[in-house]
Amino acid sequence: SAVISQKPSRDICQRGTSLTIQCQVDSQVTMMFWYRQQPGQSLTLIATANQGSEATYESGFVIDKFPISRPNLTFSTLTVSNMSPEDSSIYLCSAALGSGRMNFEQYFGPGTRLTVT
């Protein structure tokens, strides 16, 4: 298994500002993911963060709004840029454990609860 921590656990931000969320894994993993969970809703994949290459974004999410870094095999950051109240959500990172291209288990961090005022 993998233990994942996120910082900050919660934050209240003003519109127009940016927040960077950090995700740390206790072991080296090939693939990390960022999800958004809007109030009362399920999780939606934002992007896949691959070490050594640019993140792959899902439909509806763009790099200018959600830039992602993946400097090594245990760490990733997600920035929520130019925030608006609609960005108020829980942001979760996950790490996939598996073999080669096959990653059969994703472990999730505790999430970052973001409120934009």
Partner 1 sequence: AQSVTQLDSQVPVFEEAPVELRCNYSSSVSVYLFWYVQYPNQGLQLLLKYLSGSTLVKGINGFEAEFNKSQTSFHLRKPSVHISDTAEYFCAVSDQYGNKLVFGAGTILRVKS
**Which residues lie near partner 1 (CB under 8 A)?**
4, 31, 33, 41-45, 48, 58, 92, 94, 96, 98, 101-111
* Token reading at 73: 């095999």
* Token reading at 90: 């829980």
Q: Which is nearer to partner 1, 75 or 108 (CB)?
A: 108
Q: Which is nearer to partner 1, 81 or 90 (CB)?
A: 90
**Spatial contact of 23 and 6, defined as CB atoms under 8 Å apart:** yes
> Scanning the structure block, which residue is given the tokens 């870094």?
69
Amino acid at position 114, single letter: L
Query: Shortest gap between Cβ of 82 and partner 1 (angstroms)?
Result: 26
Query: Shortest gap between Cβ of 16 and partner 1 (angstroms)?
Result: 28
* Token reading at 37: 């969970």
Q: Is 11 helix (H, G, I), strand (E, B) or coil?
A: strand
Q: Which is nearer to partner 1, 50 or 81 (CB)?
A: 50
